[in-house]
Amino acid sequence: MVGALDTRIGIGRGFGGGASMSDVWRQDAAAGFVEELFAAHQNEIYAYLIRMLRDPELAADLTQDAFVKAYRNYNTLEKAENARAWLYQIAHRVALDHIRRQKIVRFLPWTGESRGAAPSTERLVMDAHLSGDLQRALERIPERQRAALLMAELHDLTGLELAAALGVSHVAARALLTRARESLRQALAAERAAEADADATARPPARRGDPRSGPAR
């Protein structure tokens, strides 16, 4: 798949045209670095995109697009240790660009193990069976909040990584995640209340004399 990425980037190990040797070295360094990132992070970036878009083929295409953009924007990465958050930032923008074009926001069930300390309530909900009401609740949440929940609760980005991926300050990222968690709680409560009302409406009324109708008067 790395070879396919080279093709998408439009490079080989030799460069034609009038490029100077320093340009060749810079492009070669960028290509090598992005290929290493691709090998290390392609699966998790694909997992993020498939949950955002619910289309495996589209997610595969956009995963490659994200790494092509990483190559082309190699000079925007200030520190190599920030590469993972930088990749999520690129993938996040790729996903949102597609969503805004297509006007769709859909998710797949979450799986995976939590990393670090005890998981949050939201993580426990997400790791449980993703019921229809939870899917519908997620659709009620603004796309930026959904993305924050995905990256923090499923992909285990730290606060600083989340801030970098979303392109905001650490304080703003924490505030967004807090709003997202509250939005999820409220949306879940609304969905479950609607589901209970629907069940009550669908249940046939108790007949007179039926023990469920209570004592006769």
- pLDDT attached to residue 156: 83
Give 170-198 pLDDT, tens digit per residue.
999 999 999 999 998 898 888 888 878 87
- pLDDT attached to residue 12: 44
- pLDDT attached to residue 217: 46
Residues ≥6 apart with Cβ < 8 Å to 65: 8, 94
Question: Quick one: which of 146, 133, 169, 162 has its CA closest to 99?
Answer: 146
- In angstroms, the CA 9 to CA 12 distance is 9
Give 93-119 pLDDT, tens digit per residue.
998 888 877 754 445 444 444 444 444
Question: Quick one: which of 73, 66, 74, 69 has its CA closest to 50?
Answer: 66
The answer to whether the CB of 159 falls within 8 A of the CB of 106 is no
pTM of the model: 0.61
Residue reference for tokens 């801030």: 163
pLDDT beneath 70, residues of the chain: 1-26, 103-135, 204-217
- pLDDT attached to residue 172: 94
CATH for the 107-201 domain, from 3.30.565.10, 1.50.10.20, 1.10.3720.10, 1.10.10.10? 1.10.10.10
